[in-house]
Amino acid sequence: MARADPPRTGRLARGTITGLAAARIGIAQLGHRVRTPSAQAQADHEAALGRILFGALGQLRGSALKVSQLLSMHPGLLPDGVRQELARAHHQAPPLNRALVGRVFRQAFGQEPEALFDHFEPTAFAAASLGQVHRAQLAGHGTVAVKVQYPGIAATIASDMQLMRAALRALAHTDMPLPAPTVVDSVMNEIETTLLREVDYLQEAEQLRWFAQHAAMAGVVMAQPIASHTRVQVLTQQYLPGQHLQAWLATQPTQAQRDQAGQHLWDWFMHCIFVLGRVHADPHPGNFLFAPDATVGVLDFGCTRDLSSRFLGHVSQAWAALLLPAADPQRDVAVLRAYQGLGLVRADLTQHTYSTELAPALADMQAWQVEPLTQPVFDFGTKTPPPLTAAKHQRVLGQHLSQVPGEMPAFERMWMGLMHLLTGLGARVRTHNCPVLLHCTIPRNHQA
């Protein structure tokens, strides 16, 4: 595998890459207009635009690939063809060469890693969101995991976000059905805030300590940080044994073991969401380890999010309403009230407009979101994949969605990641312990 060089931090170099991407988007749009319209032609066009964006982000490196990952996990923001291309960033993790690892340690500690640890493996054994992870031996702690941040990452965030906004503006000048600029801006602002927190490993160490103290549950383990060997760009923590999802599944665990691991994940996330109001907001499979006894280890707490009681109340109201029969007249009324409470749609959006225009555009995604709550024990082996949003529905969403609440992008990433994990496990999970079902009822006196 090729080794990673430092990201290009020069404003001119990075601006040139983005400018060329914007020009290529324009050229691709002109070519698309002369083709015979068809669903396949539109899908091919979306994929082509996604490849242009991904190619530019890949050249930028730095925080740009992380931006690509986060954007790909927002199904309502970008057309599906674009989003699927950006999702490739989850598999891009070129390792740092030995000289760059040494540079990070000299900047953080004033010495080489070999002087800090009894033994330090120079070759990384895992990739993190914005860095890579090495095994080491430390007196008094045994085997530890040392996360080393890619050099120059923090310096590129502000410029990367400006450049990505420029690229999305170029995309908005095509016939791609994008949400209103205020919606895109709110998501991009949340992503920038997330990245700025994620490059501070001292902040991640604090989150590790907080979750280990407040979110400890049977069947779920979290590593403790080692403060003496942690700095902003280096995080040393206990080494958690276990295998990533696909490797664990290759050992052919029984259905009972998969069910147990899935139940641990479900119970832990429900507790974090509805009891603690704070979630791990980057739950892709690489952040979880599975032990032979189905214990789940949770990694990478750089991306967490507090969820306000107000936000959770409106989400619970919307989901509880979506579980009502489709013919129930209170269903759309309660969902609209909840969305207006969240600020997702305008306060003056009428019930008729919601029911006739917005509800049909949202129906598939809403059904996908609440599907696990429709049965006391849900078999994730039968879970439907995230729905693709038709271009006509994407345009309706762009017309009526007014903003995205600050907590919403992280919540959506968390829910999509959890669904992906449980589906990969093929677990059968008792889902009716969800507080949405236990505590939230729909008032029956609303008037349309």
Whether residue 122 sits in one domain with residue 67 = no
Is residue 188 included in any domain, yes or no? no
Flag whether pLDDT at 50 surpasses 70.
Answer: no
- DSSP per position, 365-399: HHHHHHGGGGSSEEEGGGPPPPPPPPHHHHHHHHH
Integer angstrom CA distances of residue 445 from 279, 317, 339, 437, 441? 34, 14, 18, 20, 12
Kindly indicate the confidence band of residue 403, based on its pLDDT and cuts at 50, 70 and 90: confident
pLDDT digits (tens, 9 = 90+) for 124-161: 988 766 888 999 999 999 999 999 998 878 877 887 78
Q: What's the pLDDT at 261?
A: 98
Residues 299, 302, 304, CA angle at the centre, nearest 5°?
95
Whether residue 384 sits in one domain with residue 263 = yes
Among 240, 270, 292, residue at a domain's last position: 240
Flag whether pLDDT at 166 surpasses 80.
Answer: no
Tokens (6 digits) for 4: 């990673």
Residues 161, 165, 170, CA angle at the centre, nearest 5°?
150
DSSP one-letter code for 271: I
Is residue 190 included in any domain, yes or no? no
The residues with which 54 forms a beta bridge, in sequence order, are: none
Is residue 34 included in any domain, yes or no? yes
Whether residue 262 sits in one domain with residue 401 = yes
Q: What's the pLDDT at 447?
A: 34
DSSP one-letter code for 228: G
Over residues 71-76, mean pLDDT? 65
Is the entire prediction scored with pTM above 0.75?
yes
Flag whether pLDDT at 12 surpasses 80.
Answer: no
Structure-derived torsion over alpha carbons of residues 271, 272, 276, 277, reported in degrees to the nearest 10: -130
Under a CB-based contact definition with an 8 Å cutoff, are residues 196 and 225 in contact?
Answer: no
Q: Which one is predicted more confidently, 445 or 265?
A: 265
C-alpha–C-alpha distance, residues 255 and 309, integer Å: 36
Integer angstrom CA distances of residue 227 from 232, 234, 382? 11, 10, 44
Whether residue 143 sits in one domain with residue 103 = yes
Rg from Cα positions in the chain = 23
Q: What's the pLDDT at 162?
A: 77
Tell me how many domains the chain contains: 3
List CB contacts of 382: < 8 A, sequence separation 6 or more: none
Is residue 192 included in any domain, yes or no? no
Q: Which one is predicted more confidently, 436 or 309?
A: 309
- Encode burial over 387-404: b for 16+ CB neighbours within 10 A, e otherwise: ebbbbebbbbbbebbbbb
> How many Å is the maximal CA-CA distance in the chain?
71
C-alpha–C-alpha distance, residues 372 and 71, integer Å: 24
Whether residue 231 sits in one domain with residue 136 = yes
The residues with which 134 forms a beta bridge, in sequence order, are: 146
Whether residue 261 sits in one domain with residue 166 = no
Whether residue 306 sits in one domain with residue 348 = yes
pLDDT digits (tens, 9 = 90+) for 303-355: 899 999 999 999 999 999 999 998 998 999 999 999 999 999 989 999 999 99
Q: What's the pLDDT at 129?
A: 64
Whether residue 41 sits in one domain with residue 22 = yes
Whether residue 301 sits in one domain with residue 233 = no
Under a CB-based contact definition with an 8 Å cutoff, are residues 336 and 351 in contact?
Answer: yes
9 by DSSP, 3-state: which?
A: coil
pLDDT digits (tens, 9 = 90+) for 215-235: 999 999 999 999 999 999 999
Under a CB-based contact definition with an 8 Å cutoff, are residues 8 and 60 in contact?
Answer: yes
Sign of the C-alpha dihedral, residues 415, 419, 420, 421?
Answer: positive
Whether residue 399 sits in one domain with residue 275 = yes
Tell me the average pLDDT of the chain: 82
Is residue 281 included in any domain, yes or no? yes
- Owning domain of residue 61: 11-94+152-178
Whether residue 230 sits in one domain with residue 111 = yes
Whether residue 236 sits in one domain with residue 171 = no
Residue with tokens 């400006």: 162
pLDDT digits (tens, 9 = 90+) for 280-295: 998 888 889 999 999 9
Tokens (6 digits) for 413: 């990433």
Is residue 24 included in any domain, yes or no? yes
Q: Which amino acid is at 81?
A: G
Is residue 219 included in any domain, yes or no? no
Is residue 218 included in any domain, yes or no? no
